[in-house]
Amino acid sequence: MTQLTISRSVLHTSTVEFKRHFREYLKTLAKDIDTNRVELIEALEWCFDRWEHWRQKFYPDAELMFPFFQSGRRGSEFGHYSTCGSSGQPSVIHIKRSFLMGTSDITVAKLSPTKKLVLLKDHPDRLKFVDQTILHELVHQYLHEASPSAAEYESSESGKNYKGHGPLFAAECNRINETLHPELGFEFVPVRHMKRSHAKVNDVQRPSCAHFTHGELFHAWDITNPDLMGWQIEENRQRLEQALAFYGGAVELVEEAAEVATDFPAPFDSSCAEVCHQQLLGYDQEKDTDLVTAFHLAVLQQMQAAGTLDELLDAIGHSIAPADIQPAAGENGQTVIAIPESGPTVPTSVDSRLPALTQEYPISDPVASLKRLEADITAAGGKAALCKNQFGLKDGSSLSRHLKALKAAIAQLVAA
């Protein structure tokens, strides 16, 4: 190994100068070490250069320390800023090794249970994604080291409440994106702090700043929010297409087969039947089965055996002669119920005068149903009001679940 003699004056220079000497030291080592280390040192040099680019662009006058860059194999975060490194060195930015070096394909976002974004390991444009991660960590560094609100950031946003992604961080992200988004060819999309439950009304449906600088390039509205309207879902679809084009194929949309549910959890209240019905419908559509019919027949058989079927039909305003529903011999001599095609089905609402959600907004035509449902929600003054006044439900939980089912059905149509 080459013996390096570092001038003793380095020990008395500023932290910035020491780190610059350390860079030169790494460059010298790179000449005599194996290929993997040479490539790692070159990648870290690139990180230094990109950090300096973003610093000059967005924080030219800030008194920021020159950071140590390091790249380890452990941890799930793509990047992380720390005020103090593992050896006591100040101002450290860590970039995950596989993410920096492209040693494997990496899932960078989960869009749904069946869709994810994957950063391809061998694509020449993959460093665009890494570059933006360096900018993310630079914002953390600025708020810790040079911001006028550094003390507030340390005390209120760096702990477990926001994990560094509170209102101050979100404000910096928006300041940067107002410039950056148009330069990249995107419409500016604001971000909120990471806690949706504490966000302002106007920001609650926006993406979280925890995913700056990538999340708001891929979607304009929070994809985890189940209450997005149809036009917001469409904006997200267009934004996703634009972002995929921007990364030039380095980020790929990957679709996986959905895991089909084999159990059907439902709330034990008046909405239980509606939830079970929707889940069975979804299973039937996915697996080409007919569980809904089997479920209805089983209920009718049990009610007839208990002698309560006629009572139920009378209660909901239907009258049916005994000849219309006749016991029939099934396999192994079991008694089954023969239901005529013109006979009534079991309604999803106890009061037959009130329409059922699934009848008013059928999942068989999800696009039209979603459009009408959103218009009705607006006209009624909210989901809870619509559920109570039109469907006789105590709250909007059933409607929220049906909205989610309609959006899932639309997503399947788009994917197909």
Q: What Å distances lie between residue 89 and 60, 70, 137, CA to CA?
A: 23, 11, 17
What's the number of CA atoms in the CB half-sphere (13 Å) around residue 82? 16
Which pLDDT does position 159 carry in this prediction? 61
pLDDT digits (tens, 9 = 90+) for 117-156: 999 998 989 999 999 999 999 999 999 888 888 888 877 7
The DSSP line for 208-275 is BGGGTTTHHHH-SS-TT-TT--HHHHHHHHHHHHHHHHHTTTSEEEEE-PPPPPSS----SSTTHHHH
DSSP letter, residue 114? T
pLDDT at 386 over 90: no
Residue partners of 318: CB distance under 8 A and separation at least 6: 344, 352
Q: pLDDT band for position 9 (50/70/90)?
A: very low
Query: CA 194 to CA 206: how far, in whole Å?
Result: 10
Q: Which SS3 state, helix, strand or coil, does residue 178 take?
A: helix
State the residue for tokens 């960590």. Answer: 137
pLDDT digits (tens, 9 = 90+) for 330-353: 455 544 444 444 343 333 333 443
Give the residue from 326, 380, 405, 390 showing the smallest Cα distance to 353: 390
**CA-to-CA separations, 368 to 209, 264, 283, in angstroms, rounded:** 33, 27, 22
Residue 192 DSSP class? B
User: CB under 8 Å to 334, separation ≥6 — which residues?
Assistant: none
Phi, psi of 122 (to 5 degrees): -105, 5
State the Cα torsion 389-393-394-399 to the nearest 10°: -100
Compute the distance between CA of residue 327 and CA of residue 325 in angstroms, rounded to an integer: 7
Alpha helices (H) along 15-105: 15-29, 35-58, 97-101
Query: Alpha-carbon distance 62 to 60, whole Å?
Result: 6
**pLDDT, tens digit (0-9, with 9 covering 90-100), for 231-247:** 999 999 999 999 999 99
Number of Cβ within 10 Å of residue 258's Cβ equals: 14
Nearest to 264 by CA among 251, 240, 281, 239: 281
What pLDDT, on a 0 to 100 scale, did the predictor assign at position 324?
Answer: 43
- Residue 43: how many CA atoms within 13 Å on its side-chain side? 24
pLDDT at 263 over 80: no
pLDDT digits (tens, 9 = 90+) for 19-36: 677 777 777 766 665 677
Looking at the predicted structure, is the pLDDT value of residue 7 above 70? no
Orientation angle between helical segments 397-415 and 272-287, nearest 10 degrees? 10
In one letter, which amino acid is 194? Answer: M
Contact present, 299 and 308 (Cβ < 8 Å) = no
When pLDDT is cut at 50, 70 and 90, the band that residue 396 belongs to is confident
pLDDT tens for residues 313-331?
766 655 544 444 444 444 5
Residue 208 burial (C-beta neighbours within 10 Å; 0-12, 13-18, 19+)? buried
Confirm if 318 and 344 have CB atoms less than 8 A apart: yes
The C-alpha angle with vertex 292 and arms to 291 and 295, in degrees rounded to 5, equals 85
What average pLDDT does this structure show over 382-394?
A: 77
Model confidence pTM above 0.85: no
Which DSSP helix (H) or strand (E) runs through 127?
helix 127-145
The single-letter code of the amino acid at 53 is: H
Beta bridge partners of 145: none
Give the per-residue pLDDT at 259: 64
Q: What average pLDDT does the structure give for the chain? A: 78
CB-based contact 362:405 (threshold 8 Å): no
User: 336 - beta bridge partners?
Assistant: 328
Rounded distance between C-alpha atoms, residue 123 and residue 211, angstroms: 22
- 47-91: pLDDT as tens digits: 989 999 999 999 999 888 888 888 888 777 899 898 887 777 788
